[in-house]
Amino acid sequence: MSTSASQPRRVALVTGASQGIGAGLVAAYRALGYAVVANSRNIRQGDDTDIVAVPGHIGERAVAERIVQTALDRFGRIDTLINNAGIFVAKPFSEYTVQDFRDVIDVNLGGFFHVTQLAIPQMLRQRAGHIVQITTTLVEQPIAGVPAGLASLTKGGLDAVTRGLAIEYAKDGIRVNAVSPGVIRTPMHAPETHAFLAGLHPMGRMGEIDEIVDAVRYLEQAAFVTGETLHVDGGQHAGR
Ligand SMILES: NC(=O)c1ccc[n+]([C@@H]2O[C@H](COP(=O)([O-])OP(=O)(O)OC[C@H]3O[C@@H](n4cnc5c(N)ncnc54)[C@H](OP(=O)(O)O)[C@@H]3O)[C@@H](O)[C@H]2O)c1
């Protein structure tokens, strides 16, 4: 996309960007003409100078500060923030360790809180912005045999705050939405589990990264949509 004085080039921040859904989102936003600031713990700078890698644990305030400051120093604005970084620890609830609890809270909630809080002031200055969370359909439809209490706890919070911030900032031009996936074929899931995971969906298959990316792309251009959680889950949220 060309940049003109009347329409500056847009800038997206993507967390958890080194693989899976996050890497798909980086590619999609670049294809839309955005500059991208891409974060994960192990991300490395590539050849494309319009993708700036900011390595670090997204649960750390200093990393969130570096992501936002990098966007402002390099590109001068922030249009979209995609809170994609997340970890999934499936265990019976009574077997979670305190360390499991801290790890999941730090990434799934801390990873949302710090960077979102720091990006919003720039969006307020621009009087425009879009924030997207990647949640999970387990928030509304827990599955027997898939114990995931910490996913419900943390992604449920993200789902709720999506509507909370959508209302808080609706008059400021900032939209806040979420995409709620079923089980998606990413490196998160070992290939030997795929047949079992496919069977957890009414449609009988896992989702693909592109199907989540398409949903985010829809929300990006949906100017009258805010506070929405868009399910992309092969029917999981509807029932079994
Ligand atoms: N795949 C699914 O079935 C599914 C279903 C529902 C929801 N989701 C959600 O979708 C999002 C992406 O999932 P995915 O399947 O693409 O995951 P994935 O393949 O496991 O990739 C996770 C990404 O997050 C990064 N990451 C992990 N911990 C981080 C941290 N502390 N700070 C910064 N980055 C971190 C990883 O890179 P580094 O290792 O370099 O840090 C990686 O880039 C997650 O929020 C997940 O909960 C996924």
pLDDT tops 90 at residue 62: yes
| pLDDT for the residue numbered 215 | 99
| pLDDT for the residue numbered 2 | 47
> In ligand 1, which atom is closest to the CA atom of 207?
3
CB distance 207 to ligand 1 below 6 Å: no
Give mean pLDDT, residues 190-203: 97
pLDDT confidence band for 7 (50 / 70 / 90): confident
Query: Distance from the CA of 16 to the center of ligand 1, in angstroms?
Result: 5
Q: Give the tens place of pLDDT for each residue, 119-178.
A: 999 999 999 999 999 999 999 999 999 999 999 999 999 999 999 999 999 999 999 999
Q: pTM for the whole thing?
A: 0.97
Give the end-to-end CA distance of the chain in Å, rounded to a whole number: 43
Q: How far is CA 183 from CA 28, 102, 160, in A?
A: 20, 24, 21
CB distance 180 to ligand 1 below 6 Å: no
State the Cα–Cα distance between residues 209 and 130, nearest whole angstrom: 20
Query: Distance from the CA of 15 to the center of ligand 1, in angstroms?
Result: 9
CATH T-level topology, domain 8-232: Rossmann fold (3.40.50)
> In ligand 1, which atom is closest to the CA atom of 20?
16
